[in-house]
Structure 1
């Protein structure tokens, strides 16, 4: 290739083939940076395989077994655990003010099995019951505070925005009674 010739797809060598070592490297790099569910790791590996296969003009379906083997090794090594992921993500979502409905939807979108989501919410409820802390109410407070609804809104805008604030909390998955109680609270609690 001459020095003045532009670098194009035609004169660049195709990427190396998909190998177990490549998939393991991709998985470890991803898991080093992000907490992930089994489904998320599988999706990342499949996406990388599809990209590499497209550039090499190969069929990505031929590497499905390699992807599954890599995911199984990550699970066996304890690098990926859906239960641990669900617990951590649940805690994070609750701090941000997510209702139980939103938590279920977001964990399902991350590929966490429904039974693990139910277990995580059950463990949270048991812990909260022992501590005497109403989970949904705490989450509703956090959501209202973060969005500046109800008592966290400017006093001159509180009255005209009451219905809008309740609607925002209802869209976030909170019941009408809880939303109106939070929005109508006199002061920040």
Structure 2
């Protein structure tokens, strides 16, 4: 029994507006990311109904301008929120920068978001804090069971390196003898 795929309705300016508002209701997003989401709808409509790509692109740009004027889409606010959330998860600044660029955030907004994060956390070393958060969340280094630490040392180092942290920082965290030793430096 094969299921026929449902053919989407042709897009209109109103259907794109409705789709954008539904998307914004569920997700925080950047202007560029919302453009890509809406363009995927347009491309499906173009494939099935030969919708004009130029006309639909203009509808999207007009809609994005209106949403930005109404502050439904604010790249700087999105970048600040996303940078904070990623940092708390234990993401390195390098990876935060990359993920924001993937969402179409401008370099100036990324820099402002990272500056705001530094001010908000009031920490002398954001990278170290993020690496510790990741190690704690993934149970690496001093959070690992003592009998498995030595055997898993290289894998723990590799996990921090893949997350974008420097080798020296990863070594400091993985080689720490206790959790308290790491937290002592974090709290000062």
- Do they fold alike, i.e. is TM over 0.5? yes
The equivalent position to 2:46 in structure 1, one of 44, 53, 68, is 53
Which residue matches 2:144?
Answer: 153
Question: Per the alignment, in what secondary structure is the counterpart of residue 169 of structure 2?
Answer: helix
The equivalent position to 2:20 in structure 1, one of 17, 27, 38, is 27
CA offsets 1:91-111 (integer angstroms, 9 cap, x no match): 110111000111011111111
Which residue matches 1:76?
Answer: 69
Q: How many residue pairs get matched? A: 178
TM-score, normalization by structure 2: 0.86
* Higher alpha-carbon Rg: 1
- In the alignment, the residues of structure 1 paired with residue 7 and residue 152 of structure 2 have an alpha-carbon distance, to the nearest angstrom, of 61
Shift of 1:13: 9.0
Give matches, 1:88-127, under 5 Å: 88-127=81-120
Runs of 5+ consecutive residues of structure 1 not aligned to the other structure: 1-6
Is the counterpart of residue 142 in structure 1 residue 133 in structure 2? yes
Is the counterpart of residue 167 in structure 1 residue 162 in structure 2? no
Question: Per the alignment, in what secondary structure is the counterpart of residue 71 of structure 2?
Answer: coil
Note the aligned Cα RMSD (angstroms). 2.1
The equivalent position to 1:42 in structure 2, one of 3, 19, 35, is 35
Runs of 5+ consecutive residues of structure 2 not aligned to the other structure: 181-188
Change (3 A) 1:13 1:137: closer
CA offsets 1:28-87 (integer angstroms, 9 cap, x no match): 011001000001110111111111222213332331111110111111110000000001
Which residue matches 1:183?
Answer: 174
Change (3 A) 1:13 1:33: closer
